[in-house]
Structure 1
Amino acid sequence: MTQPFTLLLRVRYGECDAQQVVFNARYGDYIDVAVTEFYRTLFGSYQSLLDRGLDSQVVRMATDWSSPARFDDVLALQVQTLRLGTTSYSLQVDILHHAEQRLVARSEITYVMVDAQAFSKAAIPDDLRAQFERGAPDVLINQAG
C-alpha cells in the first residue's frame, strides 16, 4: 500500500499560543512548506514553474481541525492531488500527529495556474497535469530533526 507524499515537521515553541497548542495561523505556514516540498518533488523546484512563465495562486483554503498539536510534536503532512481542472487544481493536506497517527487537521487548498507576467489564468500544461495525477507516492521528507 502506497503512502501519499509526506513531510515531517517538528512543532517549535514559538508556534504555540497561550493555550499551549499550535496557533491556528501556523497551520497555513505548515501547509505552505509541505506544498512547496511537494512541488519540489514533482517539478524539481518552484522556480521551474516560474521559468516556464507560470505561477500558482491560492484562491481557497479550508481547514478543519480534529485534535491539538503541541510543542515538540512531530507532525506528518501528507499531500495529494484531489482535483484537476483546466486552470485550477485542488490539493488535500492531512496533518497527522506522527507518533500516534492521529488526525490533527485536514485542509483543502485550491490553486489557479496563472501566466506569471499577466497574472491571468493559464491552462495547466499536460506534463504538469500528468505529474499532479501521479503525485509523489511513498516520498518522505524529514525536516523534524
Structure 2
Amino acid sequence: MSTFEFPVRVRYHEVDAQGVVFNAWYLAWFDEAMTEFLESRSLTYRGMLDAGYDVQLVHTEIDWSAGVGWGEDVVVAVATAWIGRTSFALDFQVRALDDTGHRVVTCDCRTVYVVVDVDGSGKRDVPPLISNALGAPEPLRGP
C-alpha cells in the first residue's frame, strides 16, 4: 500500500511567537491523520469503538528539522511502522514545499498505540479488524 497523506493548511491560531506551528499542534494533526488513515483503509473510528476496541497513545518521539508557518499547505504522511501483540506504531512525517517546489520533510514522528477494550478492562491483542486496516508495515523512519 502507498503512504497515506492528510492535507493540512496551517491556521493562524496554530502559530506561536516564533512564527512557526507550536509543537502541541503536531500531536493534534497526527491524531486527525491517524483517524483518516484508518478510515481510508475501511476502518472508521466509530466502527472500531462499536467493535469494542479503542487505542491509547503510550509513546511519541518527534524530531523537527524545520518549522512551518501560517498559511502554508503541508501534508502529514502516515504509514504503519510495526505491529506487535497488543500495540502498534505509526510513523508520521510533515511534508512541506521548499523554495524550489520540492517536498521536504520538516518533522518526523513515531507514535506507539496500545489496543484497549472500551469497557475499561485493559489491553487487548491487536484484532484482525485493526491489523487488516494497518496493513503491512512500511516505516517512514528508521528503527
**What is the letter of the counterpart of residue 63 of structure 2?**
D
CA distance in 2: counterparts of 1:31 and 1:119, whole angstroms:
26
In 1: Cα distance, 2:117 partner to 2:62 partner = 27
Q: CA deviation at 1:65?
A: 0.3
Number of aligned residues: 134
The residue number in structure 1 matching 2:69 is 70
> How far apart in 2 are the matches of 1:82 and 1:119?
26
Q: TM-score, normalised by structure 2?
A: 0.87
Structure 2: tracts of 5 or more residues without a match: 138-143
Output aligned runs, 1:81-120, within 5 Å: 81-98=80-97, 99-120=101-122
Matches within 5 A, 1:133-144: 133-134=135-136
**Equivalent-residue separation in structure 1 for 2:27 and 2:60 (angstroms):** 9
State the 1:119 CA deviation.
4.1
Tell me the distance in 2 between the aligned counterparts of 1:12 and 1:130. Answer: 34
1:33 aligns with 2:35: no
Q: 1:128 to 1:44 in 2, by over 3 A?
A: closer
Post-superposition offset of 1:134: 4.7
Separation in structure 2 between the aligned mates of residue 100 and residue 22 of structure 1, nearest angstrom = 20
* Residue-by-residue CA offset, 1:2-61 (whole Å, 9 max, x unaligned): 740001110011110111111111111111111111122223410101101110000001
What whole-Å deviation, never above 9, does each CA across 1:44-99 have from its counterpart, x for those lacking one?
41010110111000000110001110111111111000010011000000110045
Query: Pairwise mapping of residues 6-85 of structure 1 onto structure 2 (< 5 A)?
Result: 6-85=5-84
Runs of 4 or more, structure 1, over 3 Å off, are none
Normalized against structure 1, the TM-score is what? 0.86
Higher RCO structure (Cα 8 Å, ≥6 apart) = 1
Q: Which one-letter code corresponds to 1:48 in the other structure?
A: G
Say what the alpha-carbon RMSD is for the aligned residues. Answer: 1.6
Distance 1:25 1:100 in 2: 26
Aligned mates of 1:127, 1:15 — CA distance in 2: 34
How far apart are 1:132 and its partner, in Å? 1.0
Structure 1: distance between partners of 2:2 and 2:136: 12
